[in-house]
Chains A and B, each alone.
Chain A
Amino acid sequence: MIEAEVVLDGETTSRVALTDTAIELLRMLWGKHGPLMFHQSGGCCDGSSPMCYPAGELITSDADVRLGRFDIAPDGEPAQPVDFWMSREQFTYWSHTHLTVDVVPGRGSGFSVEGPEGVRFLIRSRLIDDEP
């Protein structure tokens, strides 16, 4: 498991993490699709799933918050940064929880790049004051 680099001003602890399974999947997807990004969805159907896109596919703006930056590269390899974004309004309701991106078998819709692989990124959460 890896924690994201802290990128929010004034913060010192990571808000998002990747499980080992998520890291492996991301490395495979990076090989297929190039640099990647996450944007945490909300709302209907497959809402609440973290959507993974080619980096820049979703245009982020001041309406979004970057919660952290992962480096999924193996030790000693060139960096493979993956930013994790969420809409600012959604962050006001989620900010008290730490998020871990995991992988489960399944078939989410949406345009997330892992869809065709028969697996789905899934968010697991804990209260931010708790130790993992």
Chain B
Amino acid sequence: MTIYAAPGTPDSLITFKSRYEHWIGGQWVAPAQGQYFEDISPVNGKPFAEVGRGTAEDIEAALDAAHRAAPAWGKTTGTERAAVLNAIADVITANLEMLAVAESWDNGKPIREVLGADLPLAADHFRYFASLIRAQEGEFTEINGDMIAYHYAEPLGVVGQIIPWNFPILMATWKLAPALAGGNAVVLKPAEQTPVSILVLMELLADVLPPGVVNVVNGFGLEAGKPLASSPRIRKIAFTGETTTGRLILQYASANIIPATVELGGKSPNLFFEDVASTHDDYYDKAQEGFVLFAFNQGEVCTCPSRSLIQASIYDSFLGDAVERTRKAIQGNPLDTDTQVGAQASNDQLEKILSYIDIGKQEGAALLLGGERVDLGGDLTDGYYVAPTIFEGKNSMRVFQEEIFGPVVAVTSFEDYADAISLANDTLYGLGAGVWSRNGNLAYRAGRDIKAGRVWVNNYHAYPAGAAFGGYKSSGIGRENSKAALAHYQQTKNLLVSYSEKAEGFF
């Protein structure tokens, strides 16, 4: 067990600046209007730094820097860009613990996750896209004996990226790594709940990234996000967030005729077929953990397995075991490596979760566990903690249909395969799903029949860089991770070349 010292105390691995400006052109730049907002740590509910409150002028300055950097960066070879991406990964790895404390303090997530998942995954992600760009080959087609169609993957130019607050550094990485690999310059707007950790990383990368290749402007969606998303000076916009803002982003993109990728969340079903419980072996234990993963990252994951569907024949015993398993989850100081459940990212997130718990009760869902705010006392008494919560009810209830983005799971039973698939697909969303069965044929069929972009079979919440991630239905457009993500940051140049001396014969 290790408890990392809190920022602001003598032994802390990080000393935050009292004030963070924008990161533009490889240096700190004060916001044009001189305004700042407070960054509040969800760990204790207290402000710990001031952050630049960006406006359209700051977005323009960042776009200026990006446009200055883009031509040369776009002309670098894949080998050169791969070297930069690998160097970024090395910086993350070398500063793992310091960045982990920063991330945990900014977001409220348990440091064991940041140390074991967020940051190692981020480093690996940069290395994956380094490999991908290094190994990328152009294509050519021999149209006929004298004519060849050459296909090149060219950068888009300057792209805009708006990232969410649930995995600040990792979600920035998901968007930055393919954009940089593809040869684009970026203007990135972090979420206003978690604006600082990405800036801590950017400062470490000052000597690694050419100035202007990545620019970070913080601020509120209305004041900084909208000028970025609606700018005619970007060639693509990428967004992770909710559906209404996603629609606005797509609307702005249509006005500028640029591509947009949007990842808009889900209400992911986690299906447990009866053979899961045929013996209580390691696999059963793994499936039980698969249930409890709804509380991973305090449920603040777009793919949170927030609808647990359990076959009726094992329902009572499996759910009984799962409630006990969930009860053992350790909630506490996010900087303690033993802590498994930390703080929700913001006060309004906390309020929203509590309002959902309220409507769940009103609709007659049975509360099997949790259902309340937790006061951890001491320095953490004002932090935003919610107990892992298990509801039992019907799929038509709102707690089964809306992404609560908290440690709340809604559980119901299914009779047979058809019932399971029908319930799984009875949702607006299609981002993630889980299928648990010892029967490979059954699991395969279920995986194919569920309308979701990512179906985990006999595992959940793994995010390897090489596996495509994205939504069906209202969960969005486009894919992150894998070579599919790179394709969203390149455009095809076709050189159609004639090697014939003869006229074409029309005139």
Contact = CB atoms under 8 A, between A and B. Distances in A.
A45 B351 contact: no
A10 interface: no
Given A44-B405, A45-B165, A105-B347, A115 B241 contact: no
Contacts of B401: 93-94
B266 interface: yes
B346 to A, nearest CB: 6
B405 A41 contact: no
Contact of B355 (A43, A94, A122): A122
B222 A111 contact: yes
Contacts, number: 167
A115 B220 contact: yes
Interface string B225-255: 1100000000000001111111110010000
Given A122-B348, A122-B355, A125-B359, A110 B251 contact: no
Interface in B310-329: none
B474 A42 contact: yes
Contact of B242 (A43, A57, A120, A127): A43
B131 interface: no
Interface in B186-224: 191-193, 220-223
Interface in A25-57: 39-49, 51, 53, 57
Contacts of A105: 347-348
B483 interface: no
Contact of B474 (A46, A57, A89): A89
Contacts of A109: 164-165, 191-193, 220-221, 225, 241, 245
A47 B221 contact: no
B306 to A, nearest CB: 12
A51 B244 contact: yes
Which of B192, B247, B251, B362 counts the most A-chain CB atoms under 10 A from its CB?
B247
B260 to A, nearest CB: 14
Which of A46, A51, A89, A130 counts the most B-chain CB atoms under 10 A from its CB?
A46
A125 B398 contact: yes
A45 B348 contact: no
A93 B356 CA distance: 14
A48 B474 contact: no
Contact of A47 (B165, B396, B403): B403
Given A49-B352, A58-B247, A109-B241, A44 B363 contact: no
A106 interface: yes
B301 to A, nearest CB: 9
Given A122-B348, A122-B352, A125-B355, A93 B398 contact: yes
Contacts of A41: 242-245
A45 B241 contact: yes
Interface string A63-107: 000000000000000000000000101100110010000001111
Interface residues of B, number: 54
B interface secondary structure, majority = mixed
Contact of A45 (B220, B242, B356, B428): B242
Interface in B14-62: 37, 40, 53
B355 A123 contact: yes
Given A58-B248, A107-B346, A109-B165, A44 B240 contact: yes
A106 B166 CA distance: 16
Given A43-B474, A97-B398, A109-B165, A104 B222 contact: no
Contact of A93 (B246, B428, B475): B428
Given A49-B242, A109-B225, A125-B362, A43 B265 contact: yes
Contacts of B223: 115-116
Given A43-B475, A45-B405, A110 B263 contact: no
Contact of A111 (B225, B243, B405, B474): B225
B165 A58 contact: no
B158 interface: no
A8 to B, nearest CB: 19
Nearest to A42: B243
Contacts of B263: 44
B91 to A, nearest CB: 27
Which of B164, B242, B403 counts the most A-chain CB atoms under 10 A from its CB?
B242
B455 interface: no
A27 B374 CA distance: 35
A21 B167 CA distance: 32
Contact of B402 (A42, A87, A110, A127): A42
Given A57-B248, A109-B164, A110-B245, A115 B222 contact: yes
B214 to A, nearest CB: 20
A121 to B, nearest CB: 9
8 contacts: A47-B265, A48-B352, A48-B356, A48-B404, A106-B349, A109-B192, A109-B220, A122-B351
